[in-house]
Structure 1
């Protein structure tokens, strides 16, 4: 028997076919693949076909000039956030020498993550994080999935188990690495000038401490180490990360060409391509492909692309389609505004003091601990 319904309704593990208004229904016409797909298309108002190949992403390669595609990446940012946390716990990577790096990155997420539910989930971890790491004996236990594994960093809907914007044409391409890059870019465009260098060090320390690929980790660390002067403007951090990403792409383009490991439908390119941002290009040498960038235009593009546009398709809708998100309220995808849900007094203090994200997160945690009973977000 095949059943149809929102993913969240299957969690309980029970189904009563006699219950009225049941959101889980039996699929009564699925004897062949064609009939099953026709039934699904009727429910979703879609037109999928059995010959479709990676339907969700196949148009990205041929229509790269469509900036609206990035709006779907907000779900991949959530998936990448969960996956990062899951890897850290699964690989037992929380140690005395790495916990400060994790704390700084969580503080960055709790204020500037583009998904509200990830900001809430991260904040819940931060509220108890210092207590959980109160003594050295507990650190080893925390690197298991036991204690911290009970926290839902992006809410109970995550993980979904699939990628949307970041889905590759092969299982081993794109996915997590793509989602992580989108997360980092989305963080960079949301920090204020006074936070820019702290955000830079938080990202660098996080990658250096927790990214599994040793070669990738060292390469990123070398790029971080090349920065000799602290960033004073968010623009500097945004453009540094953009340039670092392009350096990684250049290296991988050569590697994938020699080893044949790239994604044929999503080859590595220098970002952004001219189709997506023609004003970003002053000139391009046809012989060596050297690009003379207009950095003001690049900065403007990155701010719009990874900022407003990341969640723009869903701003005016009350709910997202069940087939895409399980009926998640759009507010959970609202753009970050340098503030989290805090008591009025804390919000006022934050506004007056214009705290950087580290101080803000720390202050917020203290306020939350003093509230009884502490509110649950799930």
Structure 2
């Protein structure tokens, strides 16, 4: 290449760099940004390093429908932009300020709105941008996440549930947040602290449909519960059998298909991960193989996106309230309403043994174990099991009402109460007046309510109240129906039983690996 060509090329590079600086994109060096357009875009705006992840989630034609269809957020904003567009680059820092409020576990208000973007300059995204009639950049659209899945949008055409966000008055973070506040009737601020101004925070006092969003919290609680066990090395010879039984219960009746499938994988390979052979481990320790050092997070028991790092239905008004304990109670209730009559006694002993051996809160564990021990005989049908856990939950609440009143440690927005309230289930009491504490319980109605609440209602809903498209596969049938993951299903069907057959299936897998299986632990009463 001649000296003249080199000089001309250098001049072009300098001119392009000067143009981008004048556009306010914050680039310090054009030559550092040669490469794919996506890499270039991630370096623009505020001079941030490309190694710092954006808060807004960048989607493409391959991930758009699946991501939004499965998002736990109540609403979504999608920004359609072009990486070559100076206006888009200038707007990105403003969009990011709002995205940081709502996106991710470290966000101030996680789980309410998911902020996403699509680069229409990428050829692969052309048809996706055409679906939503993108004619200028940036274009912002608003809707419940599921409304975007496999859908189209045309300006001025009603019925899609998708709305255009007008940013022509000014492309600033404050104006975008003002639009969102007007839409939700909220008062979010760019300088909010954690959980501040959450006027859209879910309240589960009187709206039975709000339990639908708890499926995400059940997944979160499941992963956190098992991760505590794995990371704290709580698997010992005497605790293996209670854990195995609980894993079998999850595989058979967990409301999330992802959790059933992931737990089945751990269960089938259990002896390869944690050996119980006394010749290898002695009498007091379990040999942990290389894979057994992992936690539930590493096994992705409920999918690669879990844990999300935040709670939705179980979110408290303070960072130290509700959360895991709420998610664990919902998990236990959702399991009991799904078992059959002939599985009730085994489910009762499984839950009691599991809490007794693995729950680290000593007072909680002791109180729960005491309520298990006070039962004369295990429930012999689903109704008795469901009502036993309901009474147990209310006994815990009654004790905590007194403790939280004395210590002022309760959540002011979610005070403990005898449950369900008359607003949530008016028919659950005979002659109920003046709130929760009057009238006697109508246990037939309570049982029916619990079956609906933790069974059919425990599924993601969109804003319109319908089940989110594409997620029905993640929801197990309610009441006594048996739901198991693919793989375990064949073994269960051949054995002609549900929960108990999982034990047979598991034992068969372990025998193939020539490992010694421990005998099931006896029930504690």
Normalising by the residue count of structure 2, what TM-score does the alignment of the two structures yield? 0.59
- 8 Å Cα contact 1:346-1:367 kept in structure 2: no
| Aligned CA distance change for structure 1 residues 231 and 156 (closer, same or farther; 3 Å) | same
State the superposition RMSD in angstroms: 3.6
Q: 1:96 aligns with which of 237, 249, 263?
A: 237
* Matches of 1:369 and 1:36, distance apart in 2: 61
1:166 and 2:305 matched? no
| Aligned CA distance change for structure 1 residues 291 and 144 (closer, same or farther; 3 Å) | farther
The corresponding residue for 2:172 is 35
Q: 1:339 aligns with which of 447, 466, 483?
A: 483
The corresponding residue for 1:317 is 468
Residues 204-215 of structure 1: matches in 2 within 5 Å? Answer: 204-215=352-363
Question: What 5-or-longer segments of structure 1 have no aligned partner?
Answer: 10-16, 320-328, 371-378
Normalising by the residue count of structure 1, what TM-score does the alignment of the two structures yield? 0.80
* Structure 1 residue matching 2:431: 3-state secondary structure: strand
Shift of 1:155: 1.3
- 8 Å Cα contact 1:74-1:115 kept in structure 2: yes
* Structure 1 residue matching 2:409: 3-state secondary structure: coil
* Matches of 2:323 and 2:436, distance apart in 1: 30
* Matches of 1:284 and 1:357, distance apart in 2: 38
Q: 1:260 aligns with which of 393, 404, 408?
A: 408
The corresponding residue for 2:188 is 50
* Structure 2 residue matching 1:363: 3-state secondary structure: helix
* Matches of 1:343 and 1:286, distance apart in 2: 49
Q: Deviations over 1:336-366 (max 9, x none)?
A: 741321378535424xx2x140323532674
1:141 and 2:288 matched? yes
* Structure 2 residue matching 1:198: 3-state secondary structure: helix
| Aligned CA distance change for structure 1 residues 200 and 142 (closer, same or farther; 3 Å) | farther
Residues 67-146 of structure 1: matches in 2 within 5 Å? Answer: 67-134=208-275, 135-136=277-278, 137=281, 139-141=286-288, 146=293
Q: 1:5 aligns with which of 50, 53, 57?
A: 57
Q: Which has the larger radius of gyration?
A: 2
Shift of 1:293: 0.5
* Matches of 1:18 and 1:30, distance apart in 2: 14
Shift of 1:266: 0.3
Q: 1:247 aligns with which of 374, 392, 395?
A: 395
Q: Deviations over 1:240-266 (max 9, x none)?
A: 000000000000000000010000000
The corresponding residue for 2:367 is 219
| Aligned CA distance change for structure 1 residues 261 and 243 (closer, same or farther; 3 Å) | same
Q: 1:307 aligns with which of 455, 459, 462?
A: 455
Between Structure 1 and Structure 2, which shows a larger proportion of helix residues?
1
* Structure 1 residue matching 2:293: 3-state secondary structure: coil
Shift of 1:44: 12
Question: What 5-or-longer segments of structure 2 have no aligned partner?
Answer: 1-47, 49-53, 64-80, 99-170, 190-195, 513-525
* Matches of 2:507 and 2:501, distance apart in 1: 10
| Aligned CA distance change for structure 1 residues 369 and 57 (closer, same or farther; 3 Å) | farther
| Aligned CA distance change for structure 1 residues 167 and 145 (closer, same or farther; 3 Å) | farther
Structure with the bigger RCO (C-alpha within 8 Å, sep 6+) is 1
Shift of 1:313: 2.2
* Structure 2 residue matching 1:98: 3-state secondary structure: helix
151-160 or 310-319: which moved more?
A: 310-319
Shift of 1:97: 1.3
- 8 Å Cα contact 1:89-1:144 kept in structure 2: no
The corresponding residue for 2:35 is none
1:360 and 2:502 matched? yes
* Matches of 1:164 and 1:231, distance apart in 2: 32
| Aligned CA distance change for structure 1 residues 97 and 35 (closer, same or farther; 3 Å) | farther
* Matches of 2:293 and 2:182, distance apart in 1: 42
